[in-house]
Amino acid sequence: MALSMTEPTGTASQAGLDHDAIVIGAGMSGMYQLIRLRQLGLRVRVFEAGTGVGGTWYWNRYPGARFDSESYSYGYSFDPELLQDWSWSEHFAPQPETLRYLNHVADKYDLRRDIQFEARVASAHYQDATRSWTVTLEDGSRHSSRFLITAIGVLSAPTLPRIEGIDSFQGQSWHTARWPKEGVDFTGKRVAVIGTGATGVQTIQEVAKTAGHLTVFQRTPNWCAPLHNRPITEEEQRQIKASYPEIFRRCQETFSCFLHTADPRGTFEVTKEEREAFYEQLYASPGFGIWVGNFKDMLTDRAANKEISDFAARKIRERVKDPKVAEMLIPTNHGFGTRRLPLETRYYEVYNQPNVLLVDSKATPIERITPTGIRTSAAEYEFDIIIYATGFDALTGAFDRIDLRGADGLRLKEAWAGGARTFMGMMVEGFPNMLMLLGPHTALGNIPRSIEYNVDWVTALLRHMQAKGLTRVAARPEAVRAWTEHVMSCAEGLLTFEVDSWMTGVNRNVEGKQTRTVARYAGSAPAYRAWCDEVAGGGYRELVLD
Ligand code: NA7
């Protein structure tokens, strides 16, 4: 990797700064950003709270954690050699394999020498006089840098429920995103799982295999569909490795960078029989096809959405033996796919096991965690282990947990109090020289594809500044306004924005996140990239560069 720097005037070293760039986070985005910044010859420091690389895949070690994206569409695409020397073992890889993959990447590009582990950033303050950022770690050490690049993830700030008594529990209890490295043995144990989002579903179907007794506390059922995972055969492995250019080309073309893309037909443009056959085909196919490869009007037309919801409800009734339990598992407050669709493997069949109990936490809310278990409005339960699959303070939570202050001491949390406002999800008005990877209002979907695009865009901007000897970049207020208005307009007419979820900015366990906002960019990834490409291609007129 090139390390010599062709120094333009006014670089960080000449200005007496410790680094050219500080990156917060050594997950998939921070790791790739480090590789690219080294190629620019910049002096980079990455601060990572964990003891190893991997971000999401480092923290989320809960049982059953795995991809819902096809493995070969998820890995980094930037290096053909890396693509050839890594072999995914399953179509949807489990977390330990993904963590091994990311450690392989860290080894291959010798990343760890620029990463400081067990280094949680407490604050980052912009200094206008020196056009730099001062970053303070929780250990009190201070570090200065020209640029601050946040690579802190979308779903990385875990939240526990706001229930009294959590600390009083005398058994073992874990949030899924803070799982112990040594694992947890459920054999013969009485286990509780609170939460039935994508994480809860993966956890429940795995824990049910060994637990003595499992009680699931479900407040809102989610629509789920089969993952259909299986090992990759040798022949498939050869085909995958031979077709990587096509795989990634396809990801670039689709709405949210998955291999699947919406069917061009409307739900009612086909006969009832054709519709049913198509739903059956999707239900029997691997991955997110049933969500993002369904009829084009599934998430915009109420009647179309009802058709697929009725189909999915029939499937639940077929798979769950006890009709009362089946009805409990069928969502009634939102349509199919309007929240993040958990993919499952024999999830519904878990509720046919004699050692599994489903508790309706809406009808009988959890009142208190007690030293021995959980008390609801109706009963008292005893447990050895409580698992909190209760989600994250999504999108903005990781930013809020750092004391981030821009020019004039403005705190980011305050600037975003009425909802996030960004320029293309990468920059914030009043926060010069701060660049966000996976910031709010960026394109998400199959996340590594968005990461690679964001990193490359940021890298090109810094290369441009380097070439011209520029030391300060800020988003123009009118550019932030235009992007934010665009994000709002993309949400219009989507059924997704009529339901509470992390995607609409709601987390009842977080102060200030009780009402729906347009928390997520809902346009297509190609449209997002076109907007960003135009900014770069037009010479960054939307930015103040000096
Ligand atoms: P989610 O999707 O936010 O799910 C959190 C779950 O926890 C959800 O079922 C919540 O019910 C439940 N929850 C939260 N607080 C409580 C309380 N107090 N009582 C009962 N139940 C509660 O998080 P995940 O980790 O599953 O998934 C996040 C994303 O990570 C996922 O979309 C993937 O993209 C990866 P609620 O629905 O709020 O009633």
Q: Left (φ > 0), alpha (ψ -120 to 50) or beta: where does 394 sit?
A: beta
**3-state SS of 421-446?**
CCECCCECCCCCCEEECCCCCCCCCC
Whole-number Å distance, alpha carbon 404 to ligand 1 midpoint, is 27
Q: How many CA atoms lie within 13 A of 253 on its CB side?
A: 10
**Planar angle of CA 162, 491, 156, nearest 5 degrees:** 40
Q: Over the stretch 49-96, which tens digit does the pLDDT of each residue have?
A: 999 999 999 999 999 999 999 999 999 999 999 999 999 999 999 999
pLDDT of residue 5: 39
User: Given ligand 1 and candidates 92, 162, 219, which is best to mutate, with the most ligand atoms within 8 Å of its CB?
Assistant: 219
Which atom from ligand 1 is nearest to the alpha carbon of 176? 25
Q: How many CB atoms within 10 Å of residue 373?
A: 19
Question: CB of 154 closer than 6 A to ligand 1?
Answer: no
**Planar angle of CA 450, 143, 146, nearest 5 degrees:** 55
pLDDT of residue 14: 74
Q: Over the stretch 448-459, which tens digit does the pLDDT of each residue have?
A: 999 999 999 999
Question: CB of 33 closer than 6 A to ligand 1?
Answer: no
Q: How many CB atoms within 10 Å of residue 539?
A: 10
| CA 320/CA 221 separation, integer angstroms | 14
Whole-number Å distance, alpha carbon 199 to ligand 1 midpoint, is 8
Direct distance between the N- and C-terminal alpha carbons of the chain, in angstroms, rounded to an integer = 29
Q: What is the pTM of this model?
A: 0.96
pLDDT over 90, % of the chain: 97
Q: How many CB atoms within 10 Å of residue 215?
A: 21
Whole-number Å distance, alpha carbon 454 to ligand 1 midpoint, is 27
Whole-number Å distance, alpha carbon 542 to ligand 1 midpoint, is 38
pLDDT of residue 12: 77
Residue nearest to atom 18 of ligand 1 (CA): 161
Question: CB of 195 closer than 6 A to ligand 1?
Answer: yes
Whole-number Å distance, alpha carbon 194 to ligand 1 midpoint, is 9
Which atom from ligand 1 is nearest to the alpha carbon of 220? 39
Spell out the residues 6+ positions from residue 225 whose beta carbon is closer than 8 angstroms to its own. Answer: 282, 283, 290, 291, 312, 341, 343, 344
| CA 330/CA 321 separation, integer angstroms | 14
Question: At residue 169, does pLDDT exceed 70?
Answer: yes
Question: CB of 390 closer than 6 A to ligand 1?
Answer: yes
On whether the CB atoms of residues 286 and 92 are closer than 8 A, the answer is yes
Q: Over the stretch 234-285, which tens digit does the pLDDT of each residue have?
A: 999 999 999 999 999 999 999 999 999 999 999 999 999 999 999 999 999 9
Mean pLDDT confidence for 13-30: 94
User: Given ligand 1 and candidates 199, 223, 366, which is best to mutate, with the most ligand atoms within 8 Å of its CB?
Assistant: 199
Question: At residue 8, does pLDDT exceed 70?
Answer: no
pLDDT of residue 2: 34
Q: What does DSSP assign to residue 297? A: T
**Planar angle of CA 352, 356, 358, nearest 5 degrees:** 95
Question: CB of 197 closer than 6 A to ligand 1?
Answer: yes
How do the domains of the chain map onto residue ranges? 19-53+111-157+394-493+524-545, 225-388
pLDDT of residue 13: 75
Q: Left (φ > 0), alpha (ψ -120 to 50) or beta: where does 370 sit?
A: beta
Mean pLDDT of the chain: 96
What are the phi and psi torsion angles at 487 (to 5°)? Answer: -60, -45
Structure tokens at 169: 């529990």
Question: At residue 10, does pLDDT exceed 70?
Answer: no
User: Pairing mode, if any, of strands 132-137 and 121-127?
Assistant: antiparallel
Q: Over the stretch 105-123, which tens digit does the pLDDT of each residue have?
A: 999 999 999 999 999 999 9
Mean pLDDT confidence for 489-512: 95
Question: CB of 193 closer than 6 A to ligand 1?
Answer: no
| CA 96/CA 400 separation, integer angstroms | 29
pLDDT of residue 337: 98
| CA 16/CA 505 separation, integer angstroms | 41
pLDDT interval class at 7 (50, 70, 90) = very low
Question: At residue 430, does pLDDT exceed 70?
Answer: yes
Mean pLDDT confidence for 441-448: 96
Whole-number Å distance, alpha carbon 330 to ligand 1 midpoint, is 16
Q: Please tell me the class of the 19-53+111-157+394-493+524-545 domain.
A: alpha beta
Question: At residue 525, does pLDDT exceed 60?
Answer: yes
Question: CB of 121 closer than 6 A to ligand 1?
Answer: no
Whole-number Å distance, alpha carbon 196 to ligand 1 midpoint, is 6
Which atom from ligand 1 is nearest to the alpha carbon of 201? 26
Question: CB of 502 closer than 6 A to ligand 1?
Answer: yes
Where is average pLDDT lowest: 203-212, 306-315, 477-486, 503-512? 503-512
pLDDT of residue 36: 98
Question: CB of 220 closer than 6 A to ligand 1?
Answer: yes
Mean pLDDT confidence for 174-200: 98
pLDDT interval class at 504 (50, 70, 90) = very high
Question: CB of 422 closer than 6 A to ligand 1?
Answer: no
Structure tokens at 530: 């076109």
**3-state SS of 322-360?**
CHHHHHHHCCCCCCCCCCCCCEECCHHHHCCCCCEEEEE
pLDDT interval class at 418 (50, 70, 90) = confident
